[in-house]
Amino acid sequence: MKNFIHHIVLTVTDSKKSAEFYEKILDWDVVEQKGTYAYLVPDGKKYPETEFMLVLGEVRDEKNPLAPFNRNNIGLDHFAFGVENLDELKEIEARLNRLGVTMENGGITDDDFGGTAIFCKDPDGMKVEFHCLKRG
């Protein structure tokens, strides 16, 4: 049995708007938009056999979300995408700047645990991190 996460499903208010956001910031492909769900995979990966997929789905059990996202509630605090090195992190910072995405601390920063990262928020206010795996 493999020990890895195959997919994460995020509940969002507008799956098309969120898919456009994640497609741009991650440079991934939206491989399917089905009803109120969008499926994204890393560029060049096969779907659905990819090792990781980000799924965005609208609220399904309630007419309206009970409250906006709050990372201090039980559940998701934030999620991070691994970045191989500082050069790649700088490329992401430049892409986010071109897209007009607001980054915490203006861009590349300390992740508060001795690492280097970029933090931003998606259209629903969920915190997204790009975490540098290697320094230098």
Residue 12's DSSP bridge partners are 58
Q: Is the pLDDT of residue 113 over 60?
A: yes
Q: Measuring CA to CA, which residue among 40, 80, 35, 87 is closest to residue 59? A: 35
Residues 6+ apart with CB under 8 A from 78: 71, 119, 126, 127, 128, 129
The model carries a pTM of 0.85
Q: Which sequence spans correspond to the domains of the chain?
A: 7-58, 78-132
Q: According to the model, what pLDDT value does residue 23 have?
A: 95
CA distance 131 to 126: 16
Spatial strand order in the sheet of 109-110: 78-83, 127-132, 116-121, 109-110
Task: Give me the phi and psi of 18, to 5 degrees please.
Answer: -65, -40
Distance from the Cα of residue 38 to its chain's centroid:
13
Q: Is the pLDDT of residue 47 over 80?
A: no
| Span 11-37, pLDDT tens digits | 998 999 999 999 999 999 999 899 999
| Span 54-106, pLDDT tens digits | 999 998 777 666 677 888 887 888 999 999 999 999 999 999 999 999 999 99
Question: Is the separation of the CB atoms in 131 and 80 below 8 Å?
Answer: yes
Q: In CATH, what class is 7-58? A: alpha beta
pLDDT band at 114 (very low <50, low <70, confident <90, very high): confident
CA distance 102 to 136: 24
Fold matches, 7-58 and 78-132: yes
State the average pLDDT over residues 32-59.
85
Pick the CATH number of 78-132 from 3.40.50.300, 3.90.550.10, 3.50.4.10, 3.10.180.10: 3.10.180.10
